[in-house]
Amino acid sequence: MIDEAATREAVQFFVRACVGLAKIDPPARILDFGCSRGEVVRMLRESGYDAFGCDPEADWVPGTPNLLTMSMSPYRLPFPDGSFDVVVSNTVLEHVLNKEESLREIARVLKPGGYAMHLFPGR
């Protein structure tokens, strides 16, 4: 079950960080790395961002656009180099099996000067 309030809080954090710290306003392109069902993508789109999501499993929220399945072997995001202003993840990187490969892919799809913002769970 998805915690809608916690997801909305994470999205609000990402939006504040994009606008306040990175000076990246909508309609900038954002990738939710490890998007699960796509709730963050849906909420970022509601905030005006051109949001996309990737996950190895396709159990998407019905009606949410821009969700794609990522390849795990070899690990590859289905986007060209320099596609995104920002890549975000919400409690995902601690589960990644090949961190070096995943971080290289995140860097590859970021535009020069782009930002990566990742939330990790507390203890």
Task: Write down the pLDDT at residue 98.
Answer: 86
- Could you give the CA distance from residue 61 to residue 36 in angstroms, rounded to a whole number? 9
Element counts in the chain: helices (H) and strands (E): 3, 7
Task: Write down the pLDDT at residue 1.
Answer: 54
Contact 32, 26 (CB under 8 A): no
Give pLDDT tens digits for 24-38: 999 999 999 999 999
Task: Write down the pLDDT at residue 2.
Answer: 65
Residue 70 has pLDDT above 70, yes or no: yes
Give pLDDT tens digits for 75-88: 889 999 999 999 99
Phi/psi for 117 (5° steps) reads: -130, 120
Contact 89, 33 (CB under 8 A): yes
Q: Residue 43 has which token pair?
A: 């909420």
Give pLDDT tens digits for 1-14: 568 898 899 999 99
- Which residue ranges form the domains of the chain, and what is each CATH number? 4-119 (3.40.50.150)
